[in-house]
Amino acid sequence: MATYTPISNEFIQHQATASGTSASGYFIKAYASGTSTPISLALDSEGSTLVAKVELDSLGYAQNSSGGSTAVYVDQTYRLVLYVNATDADAILF
């Protein structure tokens, strides 16, 4: 069974734009480190809820499908990319 760890040392990590405003409506997507291969993000430490990307709320925090703030977990070495919208997160690979 995979071991999932939070993407930060904080329970919930705030994301901001370059100008310092909350990244409201932006999306976080993870890739295997050093590749352009997308990996799943987990919304719990057991990895029972996996998603391809996570939307940020109006305060710039990751949100679950109910709109509540959530921690985000991964089970491998990763690289995060912040996208301005879902279309870009679905279409662009790095």
Domain with residue 44: its CATH number is 2.170.14
Number of neighbours of residue 94 by Cβ within 10 angstroms: 10
pLDDT given at position 89: 94
By residue range, what is the domain housing residue 26? 1-94
Lookup: tokens for 51: 């998603």
Please state the domain count of the chain: 1
Query: How would DSSP label each residue in the chain?
Result: ----EESSSSSS-B-B-TTSSB-TT-EEEEEETTSS-EE-EESSTT--SEES-EEB-TTSBBB-TTS-B---EESS-EEEEEESSHHHHHH---
Q: pLDDT tens, 10-69?
A: 555 667 778 888 888 999 999 999 999 999 999 999 999 999 999 998 888 888 888 888
Q: Is this structure's pTM higher than 0.85?
A: no
pLDDT given at position 94: 65
